[in-house]
A and B are shown apart, each in its own frame.
Chain A
Amino acid sequence: MSAFTTPQSATSTPESDPALVDAYRRGNERAAAELIERHIAALGRFLYSSGADRDEVDDLVQEAFFRAFRRLATWRGEASFRSWLFTIGGNLLRDQVRSRKGRRVLSLNDRDIPSASDPEADLAAGEAAERVRYGLTQLTRLQREVFLLRAQEGSEYGDIAVALGTTPGAARVHYHHAVKRLKELVR
């Protein structure tokens, strides 16, 4: 449950992202804390799925939020706050990969294996997930981000298009190319 409420919304539904952003712009830091709490997990998953090392995710998440709040004036609400945040995170990850001269190394220790009662099923699921993650790193940035925004967020093509600076039709094409390529890579 949200810790952030205003007198008007104390008994109503949680504040929307644009309302929280407005509140933060007016100087309410608790609104920023609520935005972080709301989006941190999704941003972490997005960065990890995009190829960030497990031990880099925390720093990347922090940097993405820092930059987002510094540049909040540039968010006009056309794309969702989360999509915009993912774009900032994607830029950070791209810069990091460039600084490592394009090397994207996925360590076996990076595996994100969910805890369950069946170790064999765990292992199989972990290996399959790792193949998908490796496949995602082989896609173009647009293909990867469109695919992840669809698969992890369920975002509509219109929202994805605004966030990534493309058209809904092009976003759909990128998604289908991503699926086709992933099928080949994961097979």
Chain B
Amino acid sequence: MSDCGWLSDRMPTVALGRAQWTEEEARHLSDCPSCRGEWELVQLSSHLGQGVAAELDPGSTTRAVFQRLERARQEDRLRRQSWTFAALAMAAAMAAVVWTGRPITRPVAPLAGPVVAASLLIPLPELDNLDPAELNTVLQTIDEPLLGGQTDSPGSGALDDDDLEGVLNIWEG
């Protein structure tokens, strides 16, 4: 390493008072403008801001930092608790789904049976004027099979085997 390089490496240590120049180094310093310029810079920089540093109060800084750390810890705890509650709520919802065996669905509205029945009511003011006996007679008439239960179509029991086979052949093609 050159003398200038060596001196450059030693400058901070000497500027901070941790070492002293040797006679040889001091001689080089006085003869070398480049090293002298660097030495002035290092000296000035090593003491820069000492007045500002002296104004700082370690006690009040410590108190302020501790207060902020405590507040931050409380916020962390609250955040963790919120997440825990959210996780528990989610787990409870999942458990409910598993327990019932099917997803929870919205309740279905009951069928509108009474509404349909109501819409089929046909007002018959004529019936309102009848006394109970007349009304009963009318209702019996409505309930009786038309033509005493006789129809034009014969029942299958009235067919003999040949007729029945003929009808079946017609139906089945």
**Residues of chain A whose beta carbon lies under 8 Å from any beta carbon of chain B:** 29, 32-33, 36-37, 40-42, 44-49, 54, 57-58, 61-62, 65-66, 69-70, 112-115, 125, 128-129, 132-133, 136, 147-148, 150-154, 176, 179, 182-183, 186
Query: Are A29 and B66 interface neighbours, CB within 8 A?
Result: yes
B105-121 interface (Cβ within 8 A of A): none
Asked if B37 CB lies within 8 Å of chain A CBs, one says yes
Q: In the complex the two chains form, what is the Cα distance from A33 to B61 in whole Å?
A: 9
Q: Distance (Å) between the CB of B155 and the closest chain A CB?
A: 96
Query: Are B49 and A48 interface neighbours, CB within 8 A?
Result: yes
Which residues of chain A are within 8 angstroms of B54 by Cβ–Cβ distance? 41
Which residues of chain A are within 8 angstroms of B80 by Cβ–Cβ distance? none
Main secondary structure of the interface of A (DSSP, over half): helix
Segment touching A, from B40-48, B83-91, B92-100: B40-48
Q: In the complex the two chains form, what is the Cα distance from A132 to B89 in whole Å?
A: 61
Query: Apart from A65-B65, A129-B48, what are 7 other A-B pairs with CB-CB below 8 Å?
Result: A41-B56, A129-B47, A136-B45, A151-B11, A151-B12, A151-B41, A153-B12
Q: Distance (Å) between the CB of B51 and the closest chain A CB?
A: 4
Which residues of chain B are within 8 angstroms of A40 by Cβ–Cβ distance? 53, 56, 58, 61
Which residues of chain B are within 8 angstroms of A70 by Cβ–Cβ distance? 69, 72
Asked if B136 CB lies within 8 Å of chain A CBs, one says no
Asked if B169 CB lies within 8 Å of chain A CBs, one says no
Query: Are A36 and B61 interface neighbours, CB within 8 A?
Result: yes
Query: Are B46 and A152 interface neighbours, CB within 8 A?
Result: yes
Query: 5 tightest A-B contacts by CB?
Result: A45-B49, A48-B49, A41-B53, A151-B45, A44-B53
Q: In the complex the two chains form, what is the Cα distance from A185 to B146 in whole Å?
A: 122
**Residues of chain B whose beta carbon lies under 8 Å from any beta carbon of chain A:** 8, 11-13, 15-16, 18, 37-38, 40-42, 44-56, 58, 61-62, 64-66, 68-69, 72
Which residue from B12, B53, B62 sits with its C-beta under 8 Å from A42?
Answer: B53
Q: A41-B56, A112-B51, A114-B50 are in contact. Are A150 and B61 (CB under 8 A)?
A: no
Q: A42-B53, A114-B51, A183-B38 are in contact. Are A148 and B45 (CB under 8 A)?
A: yes
Q: A37-B58, A40-B58 are in contact. Are A132 and B48 (CB under 8 A)?
A: yes
Which residue from B37, B49, B56, B65 sits with its C-beta under 8 Å from A66?
Answer: B65
Q: Distance (Å) between the CB of B126 and the closest chain A CB?
A: 92
Query: Are A150 and B12 interface neighbours, CB within 8 A?
Result: yes
Which residues of chain B are within 8 angstroms of A183 by Cβ–Cβ distance? 37-38, 41
Query: Are B58 and A152 interface neighbours, CB within 8 A?
Result: no
Q: In the complex the two chains form, what is the Cα distance from A129 to B52 in whole Å?
A: 13
Query: Are B61 and A182 interface neighbours, CB within 8 A?
Result: no
Which residues of chain A are within 8 angstroms of B40 by Cβ–Cβ distance? 128
Which residues of chain A are within 8 angstroms of B51 by Cβ–Cβ distance? 112-115
Q: In the complex the two chains form, what is the Cα distance from A125 to B51 in whole Å?
A: 13
Query: Are B12 and A129 interface neighbours, CB within 8 A?
Result: no
Q: Distance (Å) between the CB of B13 and the closest chain A CB?
A: 5
Q: For residue A185, which residue of chain B has the nearest CB?
A: B41
Query: Are B56 and A129 interface neighbours, CB within 8 A?
Result: no
Which residues of chain A are within 8 angstroms of B15 by Cβ–Cβ distance? 151
Q: In the complex the two chains form, what is the Cα distance from A129 to B40 in whole Å?
A: 10
Q: In the complex the two chains form, what is the Cα distance from A40 to B69 in whole Å?
A: 17
Q: Distance (Å) between the CB of B70 and the closest chain A CB?
A: 10
Q: In the complex the two chains form, what is the Cα distance from A45 to B41 in whole Å?
A: 16
